[in-house]
C-alpha cells in the first residue's frame, strides 16, 4: 500500500500535466470531454504505475515499510544484491539499512535494522565505520574465526546523499592469506630440510680440522658420512627444482602421444639396480590394446619412477613390486603400482601428497627420501588431468593407481597414407 502511494507521488507530475490538459480541453470542448480525459489519464496512470511489467525483476529483496532507502532505484538494489562483494549500508544511527546477499552469506540472516555493533562485534571495523561517518574513509583487516576461518579487508566510506549513508564493503583475502601461509611454511620446511645435512657436513669439517686430522680411519669414515649428507642435499635441491618447474608448467597442456607401457619400462630400467640391492623383483603386466595418453614423456617417466621408487623403499625386503597397466570402463588408462610392504594407516593417506609430509620421518631419511616425491606426482597428474588413488592395508601393502585420460583416436586424415603423386614431365 505504502509502495503504491510512493508510486502515486512519483506520478504527481504526469497527473498534474493531465489535469492541465484536461482544463484546457474543457475550455474548448465542454465538461463531458474533460471527465472523459481525466478518467483516461487515471486509467493510464494505474496501468503504468501499478501493473508494471518489470516489477517482478526489479523488486528489491527485503524492502521494508519504513525503509529510508526506498529512494534507491530498484535496479540499483537488485544489482547491489547480486554483487559478489559483501556490502552493507548503515544509517546515521549505525543501523543496518541494507545488506546484500554476499554480506548475508558472511554474517548470516536477520540483520535488517540491527545496530552495526551487534552484528559486526569487531572494534576496529566499528571504529572505521564511526570515522567514515565523520567523512574519513578507511580500511581495516577483519577476520571471522567460524565456521571456517576467513580473512577480509573492510572498507568504510560515507556516501554523500541526504540523509547520509555509510557503506561497508568486505574484500575477501582468505585465499591470498592461505597461499601466503603455504609459501611461508614451504620455505621454513625447505630451509629446515637443507639445514640438517648442512649442519652435519659443517660439524664433520670442524672435527676433521681438529683432533681427527691425523686419524686416517676416522677421516675416511667422516668423509663417507659427508658424502651421504651432500647427496641428500643434492636430491633435495633436485626435487625442489623439479617441483617448481612442474608447478610453472601445470597450466600448459602436454602434447605428446605417449605409450604408458614403454614409459613404465623406462622407469623400471632406471630402478632395477636399486631394487636388486633389497632383493626386490619388479614385474610389469600390460593388458592388450591399451591406448596411448596425451602427455609429457619426461614428466610421466618421473611420475612412475617416484611411485615405483616408493614401492621399493617402503616395500618388504625380498618382496615384489608389480605394475599392472590397463584401461578402465570409462576409457581411462590406469597403471597400478602394488607393493607388499608395511602399508599406510588410513588417517595418513589424505596427507601423503603434501610437501614434506612423511608417515615415518626417520624411515624416509634412512631410505634417502626428501618428502617431495608424492607432491611432484600430484602436480604431474594435475597437469595431465588425471587422478591418483591410494589403497592400503597395514601390514599387507599398498596400491598407488594413476588414472590418465586416453588420447583421442588419431585424426584419420593425418595418418592416411598420402596418394602417390605422379608428375608428368
Ligand atoms: P619420501 O621422499 O619421504 O618417500 P614421498 O612424498 O614420496 O616422500 O612420500 C611421502 C610419504 O608417504 C613417505 O615418507 C612414506 O611415509 C609414505 N609412502 C609413500 N609411498 C609409500 C608406500 N608405497 N608404502 C608405504 N608408505 C609410503
Strand partners, 258: 293
Rounded CA gap, 268 and 261, in Å? 11
Task: Return the pLDDT at 234.
Answer: 96
Whether the CB of 311 sits within 6 Å of ligand 1: yes
Alpha carbon nearest to ligand 1 atom 16, residue: 359
Q: At what angle do helices 174-209 and 216-249 cross, to 10 degrees?
A: 160
Could you say which architecture CATH assigns to the domain 68-172? Answer: 2-Layer Sandwich (3.30)
CB 167 within 8 A of CB 87: yes
Q: Is the CB of 374 under 6 A from ligand 1?
A: yes
Residue 161 pLDDT greater than 90, yes or no: no
**Fold type of domain 174-252:** Helix Hairpins (1.10.287)
Largest Cα span, the chain: 132
Helix (H) or strand (E) holding 306: helix 297-313
Q: Is the CB of 359 under 6 A from ligand 1?
A: yes
Q: Where are the alpha helices (DSSP H) in 134-215?
A: 174-209
- What is the full DSSP assignment across 352-381? TTSTT--SSHHHHHHTT--S-HHHHHHHHH
Bridge-based pairing state of the strands 281-286 and 320-327: parallel
pLDDT at 56: 36
pTM of the entire predicted model: 0.70
Ligand 1 atom with the shortest distance to the CA of 342: 25
Instruction: Show me where the domains of the chain are located.
Output: 13-58, 68-172, 174-252, 254-409
Which ligand 1 atom sits nearest the alpha carbon of residue 311? 23
Q: Residue 245: which region, alpha, beta or left (left: phi > 0; alpha: psi -120 to 50)?
A: alpha
CATH number of 254-409: 3.30.565.10
Kindly report the backbone phi and psi dihedral angles of residue 350, in degrees, each rounded to the nearest multiple of 5, phi listed first.
-65, -20
Confidence grade of residue 231 (pLDDT, cut at 50, 70, 90): very high
pLDDT digits (tens, 9 = 90+) for 318-346: 999 999 999 998 889 999 999 999 999 99
Give the total residue count for the chain.
425
Amino acid at each position: 500500500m505504502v509502495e503504491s502511494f510512493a508510486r502515486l507521488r512519483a506520478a504527481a507530475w504526469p497527473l498534474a500535466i493531465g489535469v492541465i490538459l484536461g482544463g484546457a480541453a474543457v475550455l474548448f470542448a465542454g465538461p463531458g470531454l474533460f471527465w472523459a480525459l481525466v478518467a483516461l489519464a487515471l486509467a493510464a496512470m494505474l496501468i503504468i504505475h501499478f501493473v508494471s511489467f518489470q516489477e517482478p525483476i526489479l523488486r528489491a529483496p527485503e524492502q521494508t515499510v519504513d525503509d529510508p532507502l526506498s529512494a534507491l532505484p530498484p535496479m540499483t538494489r537488485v544489482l547491489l544484491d547480486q554483487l559478489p562483494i559483501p556490502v552493507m549500508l548503515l544509517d546515521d544511527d549505525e543501523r543496518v539499512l541494507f545488506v546484500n546477499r554476499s554480506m548475508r552469506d558472511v554474517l548470516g540472516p536477520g540483520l535488517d535494522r540491527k545496530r552495526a555493533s551487534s552484528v559486526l562485534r569487531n572494534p576496529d571495523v566499528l571504529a572505521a565505520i564511526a570515522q567514515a561517518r565523520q567523512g574519513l574513509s578507511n580500511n581495516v583487516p577483519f577476520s571471522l574465526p567460524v565456521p571456517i576461518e576467513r580473512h577480509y579487508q573492510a572498507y568504510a566510506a560515507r556516501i554523500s546523499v541526504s540523509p547520509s549513508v555509510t557503506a561497508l564493503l568486505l574484500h575477501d583475502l582468505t585465499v591470498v592469506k592461505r597461499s601466503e601461509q603455504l609459501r611461508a611454511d614451504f620455505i621454513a620446511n625447505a630451509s629446515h630440510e637443507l639445514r640438517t645435512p648442512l649442519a652435519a657436513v659443517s660439524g664433520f669439517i670442524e672435527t676433521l680440522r681438529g683432533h681427527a686430522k691425523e686419524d686416517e680411519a676416522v677421516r675416511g669414515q667422516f668423509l663417507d658420512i659427508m658424502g651421504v649428507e651432500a647427496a641428500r642435499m643434492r636430491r633435495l635441491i633436485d626435487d625442489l627444482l623439479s617441483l617448481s618447474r612442474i608447478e610453472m608448467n601445470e597450466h600448459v597442456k602436454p602434447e605428446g602421444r605417449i605409450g604408458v607401457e614403454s614409459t613404465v619400462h623406462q622407469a623400471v630400467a632406471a630402478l632395477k639396480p636399486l631394487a636388486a640391492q633389497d632383493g626386490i623383483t619388479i614385474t610389469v603386466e600390460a593388458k592388450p590394446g591399451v591406448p596411448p595418453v596425451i602427455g609429457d614423456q619426461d614428466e610421466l617417466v618421473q611420475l612412475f619412477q617416484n611411485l615405483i621408487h616408493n614401492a621399493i623403499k617402503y616395500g618388504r625386503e625380498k618382496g615384489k613390486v608389480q605394475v599392472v597397466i590397463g584401461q578402465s570402463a570409462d576409457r581411462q588408462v590406469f597403471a597400478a603400482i602394488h607393493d607388499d610392504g608395511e602399508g599406510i594407516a588410513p588417517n595418513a593417506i589424505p596427507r601423503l601428497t603434501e610437501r614434506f609430509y612423511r608417515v615415518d620421518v626417520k624411515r624416509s631419511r634412512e631410505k634417502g627420501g626428501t618428502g617431495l616425491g608424492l607432491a611432484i606426482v600430484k602436480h604431474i597428474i594435475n597437469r595431465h588431468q588425471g587422478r591418483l588413488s591410494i589403497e592400503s592395508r597395514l601390514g599387507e601393502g599398498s596400491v598407488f593407481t594413476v588414472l590418465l585420460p586416453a588420447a583421442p583416436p588419431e585424426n584419420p586424415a593425418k595418418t592416411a597414407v598420402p596418394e602417390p603423386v605422379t608428375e608428368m614431365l
